[in-house]
Amino acid sequence: MKRAAVLGLTLLASACATGPRWANGEPPVLVKAAMETVVKTDPTVDADDPALWADPSDPSRAVMFGTDKTDGLYVHNLDGSVRQFFPSGALNNVDLRPGFKVDGKDYVLVGASADEAFGLFVYLFDPATLETKQWGFISTGTWEPYGFCMAKRDGNFYLIADSKNGEAKVWTVAAGPSGPVAELIRTVKVGSQPEGCVVDEEAGNLYIGEEDVGLWRVAFGPGASDELHSIARIDGKRLTADVEGVTIMRDRGKKYLIASSQGDDTYNVFRIEGLAHVYIGRFAIVAGETIDAVTATDGLDAFSGPIGQFPEGAIAFHDDEDAPSPGQQNYKVVDWRDIRKALNLN
């Protein structure tokens, strides 16, 4: 992961001098963001990873969670404004899953990796009130969690975190008498530092982004094989190190695996066809009339279906440098219809 205002200014200067960083690679299609987050209380938000949620019965009721790698967790309204903030300390990645019961009540379980605290923070989001509360902390001992994602499968909830040592660990999590109860059930290892991850729950696959190597698929669940299957390799043409955020968009009966190619400000798109992954193309997010371009993305998250002002889905992206505010990072949201049209997806 690349961070610091100095890097952002270097990237901006480089882009101005030589053109977009994807200029020498395979040309991406171009889209523009429709919304961006605004934090007025902190001039140096150190953003990293978003997670989207919408009420399936009323998609206008929607929020986005976003980590701050220095300070904690933001909850944003879908107009970009801040709804809540939790000063949990340095958080890296965030994810969520609905339908988690605590004392007989349904919540959305939200989790975030806390590398400096060596553990995972968990929060409960109430879909009735749209309010969130911090619920507990799961210590990982001396093991440092870095990337993070979640899964819900066969009635069980899973927390997945990976570390700079190449390990990805999987815990089950349930509600105990006084907070979360987690049990480590599996460890998977790649050759070097990973970060982004996502689970295809229907197919039972875990996708992991190994930052300097590429994308992997491994069977998900207790007792599954640890054999890694390569989806795409860093080649400097389509996928440029670091490979960072990884997400899945479900649209019109098809599934698309989308990965952040951080080194050239683009996003690779693969159509999932069973165990095959067909490369569709890639896109970049350029400046519009009021919202700037997106560069050096860490985390991203796709929401499949109506959410807020996006009737057919949306994807949220971390932006490393929010122009014209040096040092300020934020999140941009792109209408899925724009990406679909640009890539000519049927």
**Concatenated DSSP letters of 133-146:** EEEEEEE-TT----
The pLDDT of residue 35? 98
DSSP letter for 75, please.
E
The pLDDT of residue 16? 44
Q: pLDDT tens digits for the chain (346 residues)?
A: 544 433 343 344 444 445 799 987 889 999 999 999 999 999 899 999 999 999 999 999 999 999 999 999 999 999 999 999 999 999 999 999 999 999 999 999 999 999 999 999 999 999 999 999 999 999 999 999 999 999 999 999 999 999 999 999 999 999 999 999 999 999 999 999 999 999 999 999 999 999 999 999 999 988 899 999 999 999 999 999 999 999 999 999 999 999 999 999 999 999 999 999 999 999 999 999 999 999 999 999 999 999 999 999 999 999 999 998 887 999 999 999 999 999 999 8
Q: Using an 8 Å Cβ cutoff, are 200 and 255 in contact? A: yes
Q: Where are the alpha helices (DSSP H) in the chain?
A: 5-18, 336-342
Q: Tell me if residue 346 falls in helix, strand or coil.
A: coil
Q: Using an 8 Å Cβ cutoff, are 1 and 298 in contact? A: yes
The pTM for the full model equals 0.94
Q: Using an 8 Å Cβ cutoff, are 124 and 100 in contact? A: yes
SS (H, E, C) 318-343: EECCCCCCCCCCEEEEEEHHHHHHHC
Q: How far apart are CA 115 and CA 69, in angstroms?
A: 9
Q: How far apart are CA 317 and CA 152, in angstroms?
A: 23
The pLDDT of residue 18? 57
- HSE-up of residue 124 (Cα within 13 Å, Cβ side): 18
The pLDDT of residue 236? 94
What are 92's two structure tokens?
């890296």
Indicate the pairing of strand 229-233 with strand 214-219.
Answer: antiparallel
What are 159's two structure tokens?
């927390």
Among residues 215, 163, 213, the alpha carbon closest in space to that of 189 is found at 163
